[in-house]
Amino acid sequence: MSAGFVEIALAEVKALGPDLGAAVLVSQSSTVNLRWALSGLTTNGLTSSRSVTVIVGAPVSGGTGAGVLSREGLDAEGVRALVRDTVALAREAEPAEDAAPFVTGEELPGFADPAAETGASTLAGVAEALGEVFGRSRAQQRESFGFALHEVVTTWLGTSGGLRYRHEQPRGTIELTGKAGARSRSAYLAGATRDFSDVDVLAMDDEIATRLRWQERQIEVKPGRYTTVLPPTSTADLMIYYLWSSDARTAHEGRSVFSRTGGGTRVGEQISSTPLSLLSDPHHFGLGCADRVLSTSSSPMASVFDNGLDAPSATWLERGTISALPTTRHTAGLTGLPVNPPADNLILTGEGGTGSTLDLLEGVSNGLLLSSMWYIREVDPQTLLLTGLTRDGVYVVENGEVVGATSNFRYNESPVDLLGRVEAYGASEICLSREWGEWFTRTAMPALRISDFNMSTVAEGS
Amino acid sequence: MRTGTMQLRDARLSSSSDVAAAGLAVRVLLDGVWGFAATDELTPAAAVATAERALEVARISRPLVAERVELAPEPVHADARWVSSYRQDPFAVPVAERARHLAGWAGTLLATDGVDHCDIRLNLAKEQKFYADLAGTVTRQQRVLIEPEITVVAIAPDGPESMRSLAPPTARGWEYLTGEGWDWDAEIAGLPEHLAERVKAPGVEAGDYDLVIDPSNLWLTIHESVGHATELDRSLGYEAAYAGTSFARLEGLGTFGYGSDLMNVTADRTVEHGGATIGFDDEGVATRSWDLVRDGVLTGFQLDRAMAARCGFEASNGCAYADSALNVPVQRMANVSLQAAADSTTTQDLIGGVQDGLYVVGDKSWSIDMQRYNFQFTAQRFYRIRNGELAGQVKDAAYQGSTPSFWGSLKGLGGSGTYYLGGASNCGKAQPGQAAWVSHGAPATLFEQVKVLNTRSEGGR
């Protein structure tokens, strides 16, 4: 029925005026989750919902007015009423600055297919393994905490220009935290998956136990600048913020770290001598996402009028040089840059990069290995200086080996500046950003070894 | 829940959306085990099916649950109704009228020398909840929330500088934007001047300073270092994998020294216009206010019914909240506020007592560790204080601290004339993530010898 809602809505728009354009998005979501703490299940649940977003463009004095309304739980008559409200909104609106013709096209294969669903069976294997994890934890005087989520969102898009597009997006995440020693020791691992068939909870728990053992020896380390190995999850934390801060319009207006002094943007400028490339690719293996724009609200990174526009692979950083910034059709016009809507994933690769996080320890005579980052916030947009904390394990590395653990730190670092201090990188692997993974799940990142990473103060929290 | 967002960029409408989500959830407690299911299909058949799914979740979960849940007792509140304090539903104001009102503000600001860009954001929310439980409590509640935010930007020779409005989010209606509860004329008139001063300001010299902290900044420090730290679910470990735990422990109740003896903090879900204010929580508990810190000593926690029963409290204090029908209620924050001095001390009095310090106004960047110890905050404006007087803005400053020692350095409080109710619309917690509105009041305050960083130096510049 969801694809049918698109047709009902567009027919209603057509009936209300030949001067109107529209895009209609119907999203059907199905989720299942398990949450646990203190080595026992706590909250968990099953949900289902469907939202309808109607976007209408109407001629008004001085341009095109936009109406955007979203509602959940509608029936067919409710959809028609939603369209009428949206059309009224558009006709009364001030001109929308990002107004553009709605995308044209035809019905693409599979458009009429029904919604995909998930359910308790998707996490049955996780639940079974958790029983053993809880038993092990009690036996080994440690505690287990964590969260597993599986979601499938099916989205149908139709435009008044004839385009019909359906996209099915599975999303799975799992995070495990282990604590020991009256919670003075803490270790964390996470993963992103499409269907949980590749998740080995017991192996993750083994790794948690290993890392907790690494923390049995505590070494005092003072704040300062250290050679630091970031695991892929932390690289993802920093690179996602890089992407989010990189829209072309803000840069063009002189308001971001991607602004060129004197005007324009830094596209074409080399910021790292390391051959690292940052890209979004909707067809990247294991990170597949919509290859067309699906947007229920406008922002500097997306325009509701661009719904259905191709979102092909885009390279934001090519071998250390800024090669593109995200644009909409509107902001491409403002900035003179190509239209470049970002697909919903992010991949950082280093030329010839091989090996894992632990392989990067080899070149470290005296440094630190992080487990994850937390509470990352922007301090200075000019430099994209971010502050945040290390969390759940900072390991002391001497002569290429972990020799113990130290306290957490507050760091102050800029992901743009930091790319200029990459000493070594590993192979890119699918990972989950701890800080932003709830909103940006699909990343593949390498571990990075950074020189002079700024650990500003010791953080007592564990 | 209905939410509306509107954004204007340089006086032009760049985005407007209006989302209404409706659904029903059933939470069952079966032999001490929770089961939860939710749907957006609002029919009797769907309700029955959802209840059956919730029971099934509880049965499946039972072998993996370590402890059986009990709920603290609560009187039955039959057919209770509650509506927040507002005059005009902002959703009843036509979108075009909202946009014209905000564009008028932007036009005024953009016509001022030194303002190169102006961003305006307006968030609206209207929450309507029906709750019923098998004990007989039935509640119907509605509240309206509004958050306007204005940012002006100057493109200076050495980079962009910005200045944001201090008006807090609040549980009011459209009347908030037309002058009830905030002086917008004064706010808009002041922003260009504050921005111009910031553009010319020198960088702060890093070191330890006495800080006079305006409540427009301190509310966020309270939120992070007291509000979250006194959530009992965090303290017990139920948020250890995500939001974190807390240094505040149950065994420290009545004895743990949280700060100086000037520190008196209350939690309150009843204060008028508070972001977390409601009549009954999402477990049918009547809301109230209570002490969290009295004379510098930890005296209370924020509870839901399960936490209260587990830890031997007589009753919950009404902190269960779910941000939508699709999410399970969890323990969320009340309006947590620092009490003003009983006298009439002014901000100027506090500044007058400082020889070498900084006056900190308006919140900006914030970050705190997972046990709520180590924090770092920046501000909209840092003013130098020399010999008891303000000596112009400095920039690139951030203050760092560790919660108990920071609150231990509280040496001065303003009176009620300096009190301000700040707050946030985006407090995040739980998995799946949930957002909540919350308010925090405070007077002007004086803290001695707090570490201040130069953020440019921190960035290696």
B71 found inside a domain = no
Q: Taking CB atoms and an 8 Å limit, are B369 and A175 in contact across chains? A: no
Nearest to B128 by CA among B16, B279, B231: B279
Bridge partner residues of B329 (DSSP): none
Domain containing residue A175: 2-212
Q: Whose structure tokens read 């630091």?
A: A228
Q: What is the pLDDT of residue A248?
A: 98
Give me the percent of chain B exceeding a pLDDT of 90: 98
Query: What are A59-82's pLDDT values in tens digits?
Result: 999 999 999 999 998 999 999 999
Closest CA to B124 of B89, B84, B151: B89
Domain of A77, CATH number, reads: 3.30.2290.10
Average pLDDT of the residues in B392-413: 97
Domain boundary among B141, B166, B200: B200
Separation between Cα atoms, residue A13 and residue A23, nearest integer Å: 10
Q: Which amino acid is at A88?
A: A
Write the Ramachandran bin of A173: left for phi over 0, alpha for psi from -120 to 50, otherwise beta: beta
Confidence category of residue A43, pLDDT binned at 50, 70, 90: confident
Q: Which of the four pLDDT bands, split at 50, 70 and 90, describes residue A241?
A: very high
Type and span of the H or E element at A35 = strand A21-37
Instruction: Judge if B159 and B45 occupy the same domain.
Output: no
Q: Answer whether residue B315 is part of any domain.
A: yes
For chain B, what is the domain count? 3
A175, B83, B224, B293 from B336: Cα distances, Å: 31, 21, 10, 10
The mean pLDDT value of chain B amounts to 97
Same domain, A93 and A206: yes
Dihedral angle sign, alpha carbons of residues B278, B279, B282, B283: positive
Q: Per-residue DSSP letters for B312-342?
A: T-SS--S-EE-SSTTS--EE---EEEEPPPS
Judged against a pLDDT cut of 70, whether residue B113 lies above it is answered with yes
Q: Which residues are CB-contacts of A389 (< 8 A; sequence separation ≥ 6)?
A: A373, A374, A375, A408, A409, A410, A411, A459, A461, B367, B369, B370, B374
Are residues A358 and A281 both part of a single domain?
yes
A391, B370 Cβ separation under 8 angstroms: yes
Average pLDDT over residues B254-282: 98
Residues A27 and A170 in one domain: yes
Q: What is the CATH number of the domain that holds B177?
A: 3.30.2290.10
| Tens of pLDDT, residues B430-460 | 999 999 999 999 999 999 999 999 999 988 7
pTM value? 0.96
- Does B74 reside within a domain? no
Separation in Å, CA B80 to CA A457, B284, B308: 51, 10, 23
B128 touches chain A (CB under 8 A): no
Residues A323 and A196 in one domain: no
- 3-class DSSP state of B377: strand
Residues 6 or more apart from A253 whose CB is under 8 A from it?
A259, B116, B117, B155
pLDDT at residue A46, as a whole number = 87
The answer on B103 and B29 residing in a single domain is: no
Instruction: Please compute the mean of the pLDDT values over residues A105-121 and round it to a whole number.
Output: 96
Residue B134: burial class (beta carbons within 10 Å; 0-12, 13-18, 19+): exposed
Total number of domains in chain A: 2
Residues 45-74 of B with CB under 8 A from A: 53-54, 56-57, 60-61, 63-67
**Domain check: are B129 and B220 in the same one?**
no
Q: Are residues A85 and A13 in the same domain?
A: yes
Is residue B330 domain-shared with residue B414, that is, in the same domain? Answer: yes
Chain B residue closest in CA terms to A126: B64
- Show residues of chain A in contact with B4, CB under 8 Å: none
Tell how far CA A123 is from the center of its chain: 22
Residue A183 and residue A311 in one domain: no
Task: Show the domain range for B36.
Answer: 24-64
Same domain, B51 and B37: yes
With bands split at pLDDT 50, 70 and 90, how would you rate the model's confidence at B461?
A: low
Asked whether the predicted pLDDT for residue A167 surpasses 80, the reply is yes
The residue assigned the tokens 């670092």 is A413
Hey, of A237, A387, A394, A458, which one would you mutate to test binding to chain B, going by the most B CBs within 10 A of its CB? A387
Region label for A89, one of left (φ > 0), alpha (ψ between -120 and 50) or beta (otherwise): alpha
**A265 pLDDT band (50/70/90 cuts)?**
very high
Tokens representing A440 are: 């940006």
Could you tell me if A44 and B69 are in contact, meaning their C-beta atoms sit under 8 angstroms apart? no
Residue B70 counted as domain residue: no
Quote the mean pLDDT of chain A. Answer: 96
DSSP string, A74-119: --HHHHHHHHHHHHHHHHHSPBPTT--PPPB--BPTTTT-------
Mean pLDDT check: name the lowest of A448-452, B69-73, B93-97, B355-359: B93-97
Whether residues A207 and A222 fall in one domain: no
Do A133 and A174 share a domain, yes or no?
Answer: yes
- CB-nearest partner of A72 from B18, B22, B116: B22
Residues B86-105, mean pLDDT to the nearest whole number:
96
Q: What is the mean pLDDT of residues A288-306?
A: 97
Amino acid sitting at position B129: K
The two structure tokens encoding residue A459: 């953080």
Q: Is the same domain home to B30 and B16?
A: no
Nearest CA in chain A to B32: A42
Test B245 with A72 for CB contact under 8 angstroms: no
Name the 3-class secondary structure at B162: strand
Q: B152, B173, B200: which is the final residue of a domain?
A: B200
Residue A26 and residue A64 share a domain = yes
Indicate if A192 and A230 belong to the same structural domain: no
> Which residues on B lie below 8 Å from A183 (Cβ)?
237, 240, 245
